[in-house]
């Protein structure tokens, strides 16, 4: 099939590359000229394991191209995906300006019937707005379909090529048939394509992220209680996770969730509910708990050292989670801000996110190390903020020697308390 993908971010680039990998001819369109120019040179705008190799292969085999020119990208496309950003507006609701701008540009350049697919995470009712925007700029026939994306950054290729399920919301049998054909190679092992009405598909994506965010905030509250009553959240986690009704995934406490999806999607569904006269109380609490949890590492440092003015800290991990360079809403940003405001200094190391970190507010206010151990020189304590695998088995003796004070504040519970305490460290974790 001939496919166009509008937006070459985490979702658009992965989707475009994976559709090309399954034999389609894909043109990715982005308005960011620099991004497209670099993609032509084989330089990826994001870090995502496995993507570079797959992308280069499909570019080499002429199944994948990039352009800023809608006319070139949309011409003859049978399916056009909208995968542009939907950042939170001032009131937390999803800002649809990129989606609707893309829809108008698609309409202006249609050359015949096409299925236009909302892949961006968009509130209920957006497909109708997209339909109006496209209709205002074209006379050609088209259908709009909702096909939310469930990939996880850091495992995006695998998630896309082998999805647990594909959700297709459509009111057109013609469009649904095209979508089923397109996704057939991805569900050969029997994972379902779930066909729904458009509204249910749109809401499914928010419900999934809201449920996952709720599990994290719930476990963070359990961890906070564990600290107060002298219980160990790891034991509690195993104790509940082995219950088949609960399951063991997404039960890890930490220093708060971040990223481009959970924070904004929780906010957006709260706002959508308000628009429909409903107060989504659980999700308001989920959001509040998460904001508070991002302060927990700073509070532990303050409790240990008292005044942090003049102190220097090493920080391992900046990205909001491992295997990505994404810094959006990362807990590290909140921690660095708090440390800087308290008059402390920070040297950070992250395997992939240091370039990205330089573009966020704290970017030029902290120092960066080339290697994890280089961040430790003369630091008063080590914070672990992201659970990259390479941090899990460090040389504790070298850490002990490099730090001014043998203090580790572990926001992801990656070390064993017994091991580090036996070596003489003071160890703070979350709920254990």
CA 332 and chain centroid, separation: 15
Q: Which of 12, 431 has the CB closer to ligand NAD?
A: 12
Report the residue number, 11 or 168, with the smaller CB distance to ligand NAD: 11
Closest listed residue to residue 93, CA positions, set 273, 360, 279:
273
| Shortest distance (Å) from residue 260 CB to ligand NAD | 5
Closest-CB residue for ligand NAD? Answer: 9
Q: How far is the CB of 86 from ligand NAD (least distance, A)?
A: 4
- Tell me how far, at minimum, the Cβ of 212 lies from ligand NAD, in Å: 12
7 vs 431, which CB is nearer to ligand NAD? 7
Residue tagged active-site, from 28, 255, 261, 336: 261
Q: Which residues, in sequence order, are bridge partners of residue 384?
A: 316, 410
Whole-angstrom Cα distance, residue 321 to residue 259? 8
336 assigned to active site: no
For residue 265, the minimal CB distance to ligand NAD (Å) is 7
Of the pair 329, 410, the CB lying nearest ligand NAD is at 329
Q: Which of 199, 285, 106 is nearest to 98 (CA)?
A: 106
Give 10 or 47: the residue with its C-beta nearer to ligand NAD: 10
Q: Which of 225, 193, 189, 9 is nearest to 102 (CA)?
A: 9
Tell me which residue has tokens 């004070």: 405
Report the relative pairing of strands 114-118 and 79-82 from DSSP bridges.
Answer: parallel
Of the candidates 163, 167, 426, which has an alpha carbon nearest to the alpha carbon of residue 301?
426
**Residue 261 Cβ vs ligand NAD, minimum distance, rounded to whole Å:** 5
Instruction: Report yes or no: 76 and 40 within 8 Å, Cβ to Cβ.
Output: no
The residues of the shown chain that bind ligand NAD, judged by CB under 6 A, are: 6-12, 29-32, 35, 83-86, 98, 101-102, 120-121, 149, 151, 153, 260-261
Sign of CA dihedral 31, 34, 37, 42: negative
Q: Which residues of 391-418 are buried (b: 16+ CB within 10 A; e: fewer)?
A: beebebeebeebbeebbbbbbbbbbebe
Residues with a catalytic annotation lie at 261
């Amino acid at each position: 099939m001939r496919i166009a993908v509008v937006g070459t971010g985490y979702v658009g680039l992965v989707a475009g590359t994976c559709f090309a990998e399954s034999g389609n001819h894909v043109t990715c369109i982005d308005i960011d000229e620099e991004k497209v120019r670099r993609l032509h040179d084989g330089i990826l705008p994001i870090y995502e394991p496995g993507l570079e190799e797959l992308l280069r292969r499909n570019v080499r085999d002429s199944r994948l191209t990039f352009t800023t020119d809608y006319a070139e990208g949309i011409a003859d496309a049978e399916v056009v995906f909208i995968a542009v950003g939907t950042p939170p507006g001032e009131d937390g609701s999803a800002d649809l300006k990129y989606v609707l701008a893309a829809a108008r540009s698609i309409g202006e350049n249609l050359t015949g019937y096409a299925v236009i697919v909302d892949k961006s995470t968009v509130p209920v009712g957006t497909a109708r707005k997209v339909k109006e925007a496209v209709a205002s700029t074209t006379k050609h026939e088209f259908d709009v379909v909702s096909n939310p994306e469930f990939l996880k950054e850091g495992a995006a290729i695998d998630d896309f090529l082998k999805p647990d399920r594909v959700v297709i919301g459509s009111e057109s049998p013609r469009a649904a048939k095209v979508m089923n054909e397109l996704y057939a190679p991805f569900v050969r092992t029997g994972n379902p394509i779930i066909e729904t009405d458009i509204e249910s598909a749109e809401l499914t994506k928010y419900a999934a992220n809201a449920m996952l965010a709720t599990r994290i905030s719930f476990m963070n509250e359990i961890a906070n209680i564990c600290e107060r009553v002298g219980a160990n959240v790891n034991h509690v986690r195993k104790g509940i996770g082995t219950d088949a009704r609960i399951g063991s995934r997404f039960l890890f406490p930490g220093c708060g969730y971040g990223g481009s999806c959970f924070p904004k999607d929780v906010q957006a569904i709260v706002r959508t509910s308000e628009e429909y006269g409903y107060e989504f109380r659980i999700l308001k609490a989920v959001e509040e708990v998460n904001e508070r949890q991002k302060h927990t590492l700073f509070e532990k440092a303050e409790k240990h050292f008292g005044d942090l003015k003049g102190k220097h800290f090493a920080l391992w991990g900046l990205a909001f989670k491992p295997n990505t360079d994404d810094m959006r809403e990362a807990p590290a940003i909140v921690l660095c801000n708090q440390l800087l405001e308290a008059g402390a200094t920070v040297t950070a190391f992250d395997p992939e996110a240091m370039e990205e970190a330089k573009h966020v507010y704290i970017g030029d206010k902290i120092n960066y190390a080339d290697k994890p151990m280089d961040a430790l020189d003369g630091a008063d304590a080590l914070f672990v903020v992201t659970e990259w695998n390479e941090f899990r088995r460090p040389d504790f003796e070298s850490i002990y020697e490099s730090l001014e004070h043998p203090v580790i504040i572990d926001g992801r519970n990656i070390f064993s308390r017994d091991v580090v305490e036996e070596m003489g460290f003071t160890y703070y974790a979350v709920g254990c």
